[in-house]
Chains A and B, each alone.
Chain A
């Protein structure tokens, strides 16, 4: 059995769960976090390799304690996948500051706190692989998703900063930029219409995002660091941002 250990945030979200399942299939132990206590408990009960718990991603103490406890319990953290899921649609001129702040907190600050604490531990180990799930919106803006796009580009550049800082400690940090995934929080009839504009004419299955994410942590990706891999079925190249909701 592999004695590798992975942290997966939002582990019971669709992409998070697809990553968790693929890791467990490779005999990697998954320590999953999230806010859905029932789902996390259920997964822990059914999967021997899954250890789930509720962690508030924006409470510094909670994240620090979580990483400390995980390290005490399992020895080291080999991989960490940060999956931030919130999405809200709206126009800039109508958006409330509180909504904007909510998004920045959950999606961006959460990633910072996890990388800060996991990065510290990996630096100590002298090894580790970190993957952030950002979004293709980091490259192309679209109507009604300005906070989402801004946050995802911030995560994108933050990924590169973390890679630069941690490279000397033999830690790799990369990100995946998914297009539409068929579990997407914002998926509805309209987004399915949008899928018509994708080169491949269908949203991704969560497994199609999980596979590339796990590839980035594999031995085959040993020279990949500080970069982003777009997994969008050719959406970016169609210049989709002029689709309005």
Chain B
């Protein structure tokens, strides 16, 4: 059997790196697209199943070249995980348009470009699985996250729309909505003792997720066991959504 091939955007750090490791444990070849070259090189050294290229997910020619590279070198794409993300936070009435644009561009357009080019390839193959790492904020707003929440909500809808369009070609498209995850992205929260306490207090699990606790459900959605799951979102938040948390202020 030929080796299975997975793309992971943002694969050099946090949740993306955890997904990459989970896949490599299953002997799947990972090709990561990330803007952080040093982290890519480190991951390459650690595992020979890890290949990666410097890609800015918001740059269409970068994305197109990257997908061409993967198909040329490995012949196909079985899975693609859209994970890369970051945001510029701020209250809506104070947010500079440039910060809003940065967030929408990275969170939403980065996912669109990958679905567009990988989807084209998967249509040709007549099969494939796409998993987007969205956020609980796609369902629930939170202070300072107007741009991020709006972009994630759009990612949720884009997930469903892509599932609708690609179902004819046996491509499943789903999204994971993580709550608070212990990564670089949330250090500003977890490093602040008072803030950390107030966040954890509101989460029924009383702790953030480890990146692996997000990676495993994401990989499940791409597995044979999830063959009938498409066009949906899976919340992985330690029960946070059901507490109605958005009234936590910083």
Contact = CB atoms under 8 A, between A and B. Distances in A.
Contacts of B241: 226-227
A58 to B, nearest CB: 27
B164 A237 contact: yes
Interface string A102-122: 000000000000000000000
A57 B167 CA distance: 39
Interface of A: 160-161, 163-164, 167-168, 179, 199-200, 204-205, 208-209, 211-212, 215, 220-227, 229-234, 236-238
Contact of A226 (B161, B210, B242): B242
Given A164-B243, A222-B213, A224-B236, A199 B164 contact: yes
Contacts of A225: 204-205, 237-239
Nearest to A136: B232
Closest 6 CB pairs of A and B: A167-B204, A199-B167, A220-B216, A211-B225, A225-B239, A208-B228
Contact of A234 (B167, B234, B235): B167
B209 interface: yes
Q: Which bracket fits the contact residues of B? A: 20 to 34
A211 B224 CA distance: 9
B163 A237 contact: yes
Contact of B228 (A164, A200, A236, A238): A200
B160 A215 contact: no
Contacts of B226: 211-212, 215
Contacts of B216: 220-221
B234 A227 contact: yes
A234 B230 CA distance: 5
A178 to B, nearest CB: 8
B143 interface: no
A23 B237 CA distance: 26
B160 to A, nearest CB: 5
Contacts of A200: 167, 228, 230
Given A225-B204, A238-B164, A231 B229 contact: yes
Residue of A161, A221, A227 with most chain B CB atoms under a 10 A cut-off: A227
B223 to A, nearest CB: 9
Contact of B213 (A179, A208, A223): A223
Contact of A220 (B204, B217, B235, B238): B217
Contact of A209 (B161, B179, B228, B239): B228
B214 interface: yes
B216 to A, nearest CB: 4
A215 B225 contact: yes
A103 B229 CA distance: 28
A44 to B, nearest CB: 27
